């Protein structure tokens, strides 16, 4: 059975429709969503979007509507090929020349795999990703480098990067968020998503609940450092996020409406980052800790990205609450040198880490300037920045995610233990100049 809204969202904007719909996804696709801060209509690059109980039989028509060329490189791995890839390829072969690119099991989103994928895609006119996190990131980045369009057929609701402008790619061992491109079309079969492994569904919820910590970090950075801050990404989530938190328990029971809400939330989060041109609304200290684990954990963490984010979000939320409970806050100058960085990250990564963070480090002069702002405005910062993380903790418990630190050496305990020494560096270490004016507290929505 198809849902009443199960039609591709790609209709052109008309003034009549603006008044008729309050669905933010529909508004974004129509071009009728209005930026709450500027009053201007917002446009996005993704042209077609479908979230349906089933898309079986519609695969070819969905791709037809994107105007791709005749030769298509369909990218999957053995798992996603079995779940959906073979079906997509069969549907496309009647009209298109299909190059089937089934990557080895458990592919890595790294520069080596990207190079191999681009070489294998060869003369293809466009890419079709069939998968989720790793497959989507690889295809998104490879297609951007090749200046070719791509579309994605999702197989699991495990992350919020489907329609973002960036891809998480490891380059020379260094986990990086790299400029890429959004898909021309993104298609979600709820029956397929609901049948995904429970861990991947939990991972999607985990990648969603970090909104609270990410917003608090971003707002604190704005207040202290003058970093650009936007309300738009959070306005997009205003209606769907509360529904998701209320439906968390139903996600693991195959409830398609709960899965629809999770999918919408992941998409709206991704669109928020794409519109503001930054991952900041959805990725702050909790993601820094996760990337640190990805780079350095030995043995490598077996956790999915969203599973790690669920744990690091709860750890960072506790850290934020403790920090904001202090009567005042003071920053110390960064005194670590090249030797200390090499000891922590290893000699192979030390140079790239030093280069990446050189412009973010605090010397004594910068620390003194920031501490002056903190001494003057800390009470106001606390008033507008305190995150509301208890609802996230309750939702993860409903979905089976332990809210307490694990006692055995799992990825959860690794994330929690690393939080204390990693997160504070992530808080304020940005390249933006510090703000010397009183914080713009009027009108800010609490997290």
Average pLDDT of the chain? 83
CATH 3.40.50.1970, domain 44-196, yes or no: yes
pTM: 0.81
Name which CATH class applies to 211-428.
mainly alpha
For 215-264, write each residue's pLDDT tens digit: 999 999 999 999 999 999 999 999 999 999 889 889 989 999 999 999 99
3-class secondary structure for the chain? CCCCCCCCCCCCCCHHHHHHCCCHHHHHHHCCCECCCCCCECCCCCCEEEEECCCCCCHHHHHHCCCCCCEEEEEECHHHHHHHHHHHHHHHCCCCEEEEEECCCCCCCEHHHHHHHHHHHCCCCEEEEEECHHHHHHHHHHHHHHCCCEEEEECCCCCCCCCCCEEEEEECCEEEEEECCCCCEEEEEHHHHHCCCHHHHHHHHHHHHCHHHHHHHHHHHHHHHCCCCCCHHHHHCCCHHHHHHHCHHHHHHCCHHHHHHHHHHHHHHHHHHHHHCCCHHHCCHHHHHHHHHHHHCCCCCCCCHHHHHHHHHHHHHHHHHHHHCCCCCCCCCCCCCHHHHHHHHCHHHHHHHHHHHHHHCCCHHHHHHHHHHHHHHHHHHHHHHCCCCHHHHHHHHHCCCCCCCCCCCCHHHHHHHHHHHHHHHHHHCCCCCCCCCCCCCCCCCCC
For 337-374, write each residue's pLDDT tens digit: 888 888 888 888 888 888 878 888 888 999 999 999 99
For 149-204, write each residue's pLDDT tens digit: 999 999 999 999 999 999 999 998 888 889 999 999 999 999 999 999 999 999 99
For the chain, domain boundaries: 44-196, 211-428
For 35-93, write each residue's pLDDT tens digit: 999 999 999 999 999 999 999 999 999 999 999 999 999 999 999 999 999 999 999 99
pLDDT on residue 2: 41
pLDDT on residue 7: 53
For 294-322, write each residue's pLDDT tens digit: 888 888 888 888 899 989 998 898 888 88
For residue 383, pLDDT beyond 90: no
pLDDT on residue 400: 56
């Amino acid at each position: 059975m198809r849902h009443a809204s199960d039609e591709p969202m790609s209709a052109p904007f008309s003034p009549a429709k603006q008044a008729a719909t309050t669905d933010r996804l529909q508004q974004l696709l129509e071009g009728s969503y209005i930026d709450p801060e500027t009053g201007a209509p917002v446009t996005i690059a993704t042209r077609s979007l479908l979230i349906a109980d089933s898309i079986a039989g519609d695969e070819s028509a969905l791709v037809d509507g994107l105007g791709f060329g005749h030769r298509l490189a369909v990218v999957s791995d053995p798992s996603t090929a079995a779940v959906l890839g073979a079906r997509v390829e069969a549907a496309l072969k009647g009209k298109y020349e299909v190059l089937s690119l089934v990557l080895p099991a458990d592919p890595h989103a790294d520069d080596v795999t990207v190079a191999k994928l681009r070489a294998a895609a060869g003369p293809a006119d466009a890419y079709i990703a069939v998968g989720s996190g790793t497959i989507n990131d690889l295809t998104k980045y490879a297609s951007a480098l090749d200046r070719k369009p791509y579309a994605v057929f999702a197989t699991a609701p495990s992350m919020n990067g489907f329609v973002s402008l960036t891809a998480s790619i490891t380059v020379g061992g260094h986990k990086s968020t790299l400029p890429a491109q959004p898909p021309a079309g993104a298609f979600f079969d709820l029956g397929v998503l609901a049948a995904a492994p429970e861990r991947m569904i939990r991972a999607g919820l985990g990648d969603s609940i970090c909104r609270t910590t990410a917003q608090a970090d971003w707002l604190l950075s704005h207040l202290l450092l003058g970093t650009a801050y936007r309300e738009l990404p959070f306005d997009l989530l205003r209606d769907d996020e509360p529904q998701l938190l209320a439906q968390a328990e139903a996600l693991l029971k195959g409830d398609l409406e709960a899965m629809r809400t999770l999918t919408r939330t992941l998409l709206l989060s991704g669109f928020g980052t794409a519109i503001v041109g930054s991952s900041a609304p959805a990725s702050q200290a909790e993601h820094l800790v996760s990337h640190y684990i990805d780079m350095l954990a030995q043995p490598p963490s077996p956790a999915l990205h969203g599973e790690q984010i669920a744990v690091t979000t709860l750890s960072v939320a506790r850290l934020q609450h403790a920090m904001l409970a202090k009567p005042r806050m003071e920053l110390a100058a960064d005194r670590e040198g090249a030797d200390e960085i090499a000891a922590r990250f290893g000699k192979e990564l030390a140079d790239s880490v030093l280069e990446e963070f050189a412009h973010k480090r605090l010397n004594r002069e910068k620390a003194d300037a920031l501490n002056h702002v903190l001494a003057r405005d800390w009470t106001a910062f606390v008033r507008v920045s305190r995150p509301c993380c208890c609802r996230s903790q309750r939702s993860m418990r409903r979905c089976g995610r332990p809210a307490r630190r694990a006692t055995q050496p799992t990825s959860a305990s690794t994330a929690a233990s690393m939080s204390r020494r990693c997160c504070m560096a992530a808080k304020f270490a940005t390249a933006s100049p510090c703000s010397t004016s009183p914080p713009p507290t009027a009108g800010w929505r609490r997290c």
